[in-house]
Structure 1
Amino acid sequence: MTVEPQDILSRDNPLVKELRALAQDNTAYRRRGRVWLDGDHLCRALLARGQRPAIAVFSASGWLRADAELLRSAPRVVRLPDAIMASVSGLESPPAMGFVIDLPDAPDLQPDAPTVVLDRLQDAGNVGSILRSAAAFGFTQVAALKGTAALWSPKVLRAGMGAHFGLRLVEGLAFEDLATLRVPLLVTSSHQGEWLHRAALPWPCAWVMGHEGQGVSETLMQRAQAFVRIAQPGGEESLNVGAAAAICLHASAAARL
């Protein structure tokens, strides 16, 4: 049954202000306990995982084009004039719709879960890309240390393309919190360890991906159970961390086949 939409016509409406904050402020979700999903793709990715939003928001023109699945997706439906919807979104080309979801409760680390550890990664695009790779290659948990880009920020959500909804996301961790993990920590290195394509990779495991400029912290280097090197016959000094993560996580997935 389609819910009758609530029309909001003022830019100063409290909900519109909240939507604008969630869509444009990287850490607003932590204060408000809610997350904004910008656009059709993210919204459908949520529904595909069997999850439901608290609020579905449509532009006036988007409402006319939306299909039944989207129109019936939430217990509360809001319709905004196109100009106000454009002011909410942080995108250059504003979407026709978005969802508001409740921020998931902060989970504890699962000790034996296949994990990706993010060690102070700064770039939201890298973080979102790594989340996509983690979900694609069978890693179920992402552990983000303090200093890593906010996992539920708008840019990370867009780069993640829906991967968030299939992962256990734990952020704001200190180094000592990783002591909970019982899986071996694997670290890439340019100068030590076995070549990745020859290595016997354990499963489950935790791949550590380090800061874009500084790499993996010395603390985690000392805790690593194994180091691996990625072959780079082209001679580049290093790989982008998102690319390195995709290669390593795929290698783990392939080793299980």
Structure 2
Amino acid sequence: MNAPSMLRISSRDNALIKDLRRLSQENGAYRKQQRYWAEGDHLCRAALVRGMRPDIAVFAESFLSAARTEYVQAATKNIVVPDALFHEISGLESPASMGYVFALPRDQGLKPGVATVILDRVQDAGNVGSILRSASAFGVEQVLALKGTAALWGSKVLRAGMGAHWGLRLFEGFTFANLDGLDLPIVVTSSHRGEFLHVAQYTNQLPNPCAWVFGHEGQGVCTELEAMARVHIRIAQPGGEESLNVGAAAAICLHASASQAPSVRA
């Protein structure tokens, strides 16, 4: 297969370059453009492995000669820019020299009865990305982000997710009313209330599947979701820390659920 032709752009005032800069550097730009930016060969390779196909590939000139063939052939449109211009587009301190633009996924509709994570105003992009990675690793199918949660398709969350986005169904802007369609017991995490996770796990008190709720880094889960919960769970901390980082707590809880799933294999 011959490599697709390359369009070379050198002007920083080019309309596409301006759009790419916004996608890379402005968290909510993807909502307006209905597309998102994934930067770096690791992230781009993860997308291809998941069967994703970008609309646009962007390469720095110095990287193009070393780019994998599959990187160049994956997109319907290929752009080459000077290294300095790619650095202007990039939102990274050390730009990765290539990136893909993907169309934002269409709303597939909430899927009832499957393992779910609900993010209640989790604001740090690194925490959100970390939770998405754990969700994908431990068999969660969908993630619902309530208003106030970091932008799921923003470049910072994408980088922290390390490819997990393409293994999950992601929904933003959910309200409490929308949760009725889940048809799942809701499990709320807390630093001070409820059964200890290890006790609930070994006494079969953890419903499976369920919807795990992880809350705001400082305020925790809101009172409305607390009231909707069937189970409240806390994690034992014999070392005496007041609380765990929400990303770490999510990984522990989701692993506990995964270990109880009938389909778990050694």
TM above 0.5: yes
Decide whether the 8 Å contact of 1:109 with 1:143 is kept in 2.
Answer: no
1:32-58 Cα distance to aligned partner (Å, 9 max, x none) = 011011111111111001110001110
8 A contact 2:190–2:220 mirrored in 1:
no
Answer yes or no: is the 8 Å Cα contact 2:190–2:221 preserved in 1: no
Structure-2 residue corresponding to 1:232: 237
Unaligned stretches of 5+ in structure 1? none
1:203-254 CA-partner distances (Å, limit 9, x unpaired): 1111000011110000000000111121100011111111100000011011
1:210·1:217 contact (CA, 8 Å) conserved in 2? yes
Partner residue of 1:206? 211
How far did 1:98 drift?
0.2
Deviation string 1:174-202 (CA, Å, 9 cap, x unpaired) is 11111111111001223332221121222
* Structure 2 length-normalised TM: 0.95
Deviation at 1:126, TM superposition (A): 0.5
Of the candidates 219, 222, 227, which is equivalent to residue 217 of structure 1? Answer: 222
Q: Aligned partners of 2:141 and 2:44: how far apart in 1?
A: 21
| 1:255 pairs with one of 253, 257, 260 | 260
Q: Distance in 2 between matches of 1:99 and 1:53?
A: 6
Q: What SS does structure 1 have at the residue aligned with 2:18?
A: helix
1:22 and 1:189 map into 2 onto residues whose CA distance is 35
Q: CA deviation at 1:106?
A: 2.4
1:31 equivalent in structure 2: 32
Q: How does 1:98-137 map to 2 (within 5 A)?
A: 98-137=99-138
Alignment partner of 1:91 is 2:96: no
Root mean square deviation, CA, Å: 0.9
Cα distance, 1:116 vs. partner? 0.3
Would you say 1:43 and 2:48 are equivalent positions?
no
* Number of positions where the alignment pairs a residue of Structure 1 with one of Structure 2: 257
Q: Is the 8 A contact 1:210 1:216 kept in 2?
A: yes
Q: Percent identity?
A: 61
Please report the TM-score for the alignment, with normalisation by the length of structure 1. Answer: 0.98
Asked whether the equivalents of residues 146 and 174 of structure 2 are also in contact (C-alpha less than 8 Å), the reply is yes
